Structure 1
Amino acid sequence: MIAMTLAEITAATSGRFEPAGTDASTETVIDGAVTTDSREVGAGGIFVAKRGEFDDGHRFAPAAVDQGAALLIVERLLELPVAQVVVEDSVDALGALATEVVRRVRAQGRLKIVGVTGSNGKTTTKNLLRTVLEQVGPTVAARKSYNNEVGAPTTMLELTEDTEFLVAEMGASGVGEIARLIRMARPDVGIVLKVGLAHAGEFGGIEKTVQAKSEMVTDLLPTDVAVLNADDPRVVPMAERTAARVVWFGLGEGADVRATDLVVHPQGTEFTITAPGGESARVRFSVLGEHHVMNALAATSAALELGVPLATIVTGLERVTLAEQWRMQVMGGRDDITVINDAYNASPDSMAAALKTLAQVKRPGSRTIAVLGEMSELGEFSGEEHDRIGLLAVRLGISQLVVVGEGARRLHITTINEGSWDGESAYVESADEAFDLVTGMARPGDTVLVKSSNSAGLRHLGDRLGEWFA
Structure 2
Amino acid sequence: MIALPLGQIAEILRGELRLHASDTADTVVDGVVDTDSREMTPGAIFVAKPGETTDGHRFVPAAADAGAVLAIVERPVEAPITQIVVADAVTALADLAREVVARVRAAGRLRIVGITGSNGKTTTKNFLARILSDEGETVAPVRSYNNEVGAPLTMLRVTPDTRYLVSEFGAAGRGSIARLAGLVEPDVSVVLMVGLAHAGGFGGIEQTALAKSELVSAARADGTAVLNVDDPRVWAMRRIAEERGMSVVGFGQHPDAEVRADRIEVASDGTTAAIIVDGEETPLRLQVLGAHHVHNALAAIAAARVLGVPVADSISRLETVRIAERWRMQPMGSDRVRIINDAYNASPDSMAAALRTLAQISGPGERTVAVLGAMSELGETAGEEHDRIGLLAVRLNIQRIVVVGPEARRLYLAAVGEGSWDGEAVHLPDQDAAFEYLRHELRDGDRVLVKSSNSAGLRHLGDRLGESFS
Fold match by TM threshold 0.5: yes
- TM-fit CA distance, 1:459: 0.3
Residue type of the partner of 2:273?
F
- 1:7 is matched with 7
- TM-fit CA distance, 1:112: 0.2
Identity %: 59
- 2:295 is matched with 294
- 2:113 is matched with 114
Cα deviation 1:371-415 (Å, max 9, x = unaligned): 000000111010000000000001000000000001100000111
Residue type of the partner of 1:370?
A
Does 1:24 find its partner at 2:23?
Answer: yes
Contact 1:16 1:87 in 2 (8 A): yes
Contact 2:182 2:218 in 1 (8 A): no
Residue type of the partner of 1:255?
A
Contact 1:337 1:443 in 2 (8 A): yes
- TM-fit CA distance, 1:5: 0.4
Local SS of the residue matching 1:51: coil
- 1:355 is matched with 355
Q: 1:54-65 counterparts in 2 under 5 A?
A: 54-65=53-64
Which 10-residue stretch deviates more, 245-254 or 116-125? 245-254
Residue type of the partner of 1:350?
S
- 1:391 is matched with 391
User: In the aligned structure 2, how far is the partner of 1:402 from the partner of 1:419?
Assistant: 14
Q: 1:366-405 counterparts in 2 under 5 A?
A: 366-405=366-405
Q: 1:440-455 counterparts in 2 under 5 A?
A: 440-455=440-455
Specify whether residues 385 and 240 from structure 1 end up closer, same or farther in structure 2 by C-alpha distance, changes over 3 A only: same
Q: 1:24-423 counterparts in 2 under 5 A?
A: 24-242=23-241, 243=244, 244-275=246-277, 277-333=278-334, 336-419=336-419, 421-423=421-423
Residue type of the partner of 2:158?
L
Local SS of the residue matching 1:107: helix
User: In the aligned structure 1, how far is the partner of 2:107 from the partner of 2:196?
Assistant: 40
Q: Which runs of 5+ in 2 are unaligned?
A: none
Residue type of the partner of 2:251?
F
- TM-fit CA distance, 1:278: 2.1
Contact 1:359 1:368 in 2 (8 A): yes
- TM-fit CA distance, 1:248: 0.4
Residue type of the partner of 2:321?
V
User: In the aligned structure 1, how far is the partner of 2:159 from the partner of 2:281?
Assistant: 35
Question: How many aligned residue pairs are there?
Answer: 467
Local SS of the residue matching 2:265: strand
TM-score with structure 2 length normalisation? 0.98
Residue type of the partner of 2:264?
L
Q: Which runs of 5+ in 1 are unaligned?
A: none
Contact 2:197 2:347 in 1 (8 A): yes
Contact 1:222 1:245 in 2 (8 A): no
User: In the aligned structure 2, how far is the partner of 1:422 from the partner of 1:226?
Assistant: 51
User: In the aligned structure 2, how far is the partner of 1:419 from the partner of 1:333?
Assistant: 31
Cα deviation 1:331-365 (Å, max 9, x = unaligned): 1116x210000000000000000000000001212
- TM-fit CA distance, 1:423: 2.7
Residue type of the partner of 2:160?
E
User: In the aligned structure 2, how far is the partner of 1:279 from the partner of 1:75?
Assistant: 57
User: In the aligned structure 1, how far is the partner of 2:167 from the partner of 2:419?
Assistant: 47
User: In the aligned structure 2, how far is the partner of 1:422 from the partner of 1:233?
Assistant: 41
Local SS of the residue matching 1:77: coil
Contact 2:344 2:454 in 1 (8 A): yes
